[in-house]
Structure 1
Amino acid sequence: MWVQRVIELTGWEPLGISADWAAIDGELGVPLPADYKELYEAFGGGVFSDSVYFLGRDEGLAFDFLTQWRVSLSVDQDSKLGDVSAVEPYAIYAPGGKGLVPWGSTEWADEYFWLIDAERPGDYPVLARSDDGGAWDRYDMSTSEFLYRVLADADFQPFGIAQYDLGTTFKPGSGDPFDGQPL
């Protein structure tokens, strides 16, 4: 239902991307949310409303979900950086554990993650924080509902962007990792 709302809101023609979900879920050690898989297959990776970055599949690196997660995990586990994590008080999810997995962000440095616990597969609250790197907001809703509310609900604060009248468009990732987009 929410995936269809995002498709209708953007006027997007679903791409019908196929993915080896068994391999992706296997690498993570947990199955990803079903509605995220639908978004991934419909949109791939790219930008909503010229400001909300969605990680899915991208021929380059900028919007590729697995690449972004692997980079985040590598940085989070780098002992040269000490015990500090960019997502404190959490850590980036490592297979079999509990932590955050990035799936989106904004041009204003807002960040969107799932809190994944390998012992509780199927429970994927969205954790988001605004550009100040402060407190995390938890949303017990699906990825697609959260994304829809960010794009369409001006009262969905502090993350709703509808109040800025940016339109509700989607542009697929360029495949160029050096185009100034997330990485």
Structure 2
Amino acid sequence: MWVQRVIELTGWEPLGISADWAAIEGELGVALPADYKELYEAFGGGVFSDSVYFLGRDEGLAFDFLTQWRVALSVDQDSALGSVSAVEPYAIYAPGGKGLVHWGSTEWADEYCWLIDAERPGDYPVLARADDVGPWHQYDMSTSEFLYRILTDADFQPFGVARYALNPTFEPGSSDDE
């Protein structure tokens, strides 16, 4: 329902990307939200409303979900950088554990993640924070509902980008940007 609303809002023609979900989820050690998979298959990776970055599949890697997760995990686990995580008080999700997996952000450094706990499969609260340093806010809603609300609800504070009167568009990621 919410995925379809995002598609209709943007006037996007779904790409119908096929993904090897068994391999992706095997690497993560956990299943991903069903509606995220629908968004991924419909949009790939790219930018909504010229400001909301969505991680999916991108041959150029900038919007590639798995590449971004691997990099974040590597940095989070690098002992040379100290014991402080960039997502305090959480850590980046590591297979079999509990932590954050980024699926989106904004040009204003807002971050959108799931709090994934391998011991609680199927539970994917959205955690978001403004300006890359603010407090984390938890939303018990699907990825696609959260995305729809930030794109359309000017009162969805502090994350609603609709207050900026941006056109509800989608621009796919591209390897031409590399």
Q: Report the TM range for the smaller structure's normalisation.
A: over 0.9
- Partners of 1:124 and 1:175 in 2: how far apart? 30
Q: Which runs of 5+ in 1 are unaligned?
A: 179-183
- Partners of 1:157 and 1:9 in 2: how far apart? 20
Q: Which residue of 2 aligns with 1:146?
A: 146
SS, match of residue 150 in structure 2: helix
Distance 1:59 1:126, change over 3 A: same
Q: Percent identity, aligned pairs only?
A: 87
**Alignment-mate amino acid for residue 58 of structure 1:** D
TM-superposed CA distance for 1:31, in Å, is 0.4
Deviations 1:23-82 (A, max 9, x none): 001000010000000000000000000000000000011000000000000000000001
SS, match of residue 60 in structure 1: coil
Decide whether the 8 Å contact of 1:61 with 1:177 is kept in 2.
no
Q: Which residue of 2 aligns with 1:114?
A: 114
After TM superposition, list the pairs within 5 Å mapping 1:30-179 onto structure 2. Answer: 30-131=30-131, 133-176=133-176, 178=178
TM-superposed CA distance for 1:134, in Å, is 1.8
- Partners of 2:167 and 2:176 in 1: how far apart? 24
Report how many aligned residue pairs link the two structures. 178
SS, match of residue 36 in structure 1: helix
**Alignment-mate amino acid for residue 167 of structure 2:** G
Q: Which residue of 1 aligns with 2:11?
A: 11
SS, match of residue 59 in structure 2: coil
Structure 2 residue 26 is matched with structure 1 residue 26? yes
Q: Which runs of 5+ in 2 are unaligned?
A: none
- Partners of 1:132 and 1:72 in 2: how far apart? 14
- Partners of 1:117 and 1:38 in 2: how far apart? 21
TM-superposed CA distance for 1:175, in Å, is 1.8
SS, match of residue 175 in structure 2: coil
**Alignment-mate amino acid for residue 91 of structure 2:** A
TM-superposed CA distance for 1:95, in Å, is 0.0
Q: CA RMSD in A?
A: 0.8
Q: Which runs of 4+ in 1 moved over 6 A?
A: none
Give TM-score scaled by structure 2 length: 0.98
- Partners of 1:18 and 1:49 in 2: how far apart? 25
Distance 1:132 1:28, change over 3 A: closer
TM-superposed CA distance for 1:176, in Å, is 4.2
**Alignment-mate amino acid for residue 74 of structure 1:** S
Give TM-score scaled by structure 1 length: 0.96
TM-superposed CA distance for 1:174, in Å, is 1.6
- Partners of 1:25 and 1:78 in 2: how far apart? 23
Decide whether the 8 Å contact of 2:111 with 2:132 is kept in 1.
no
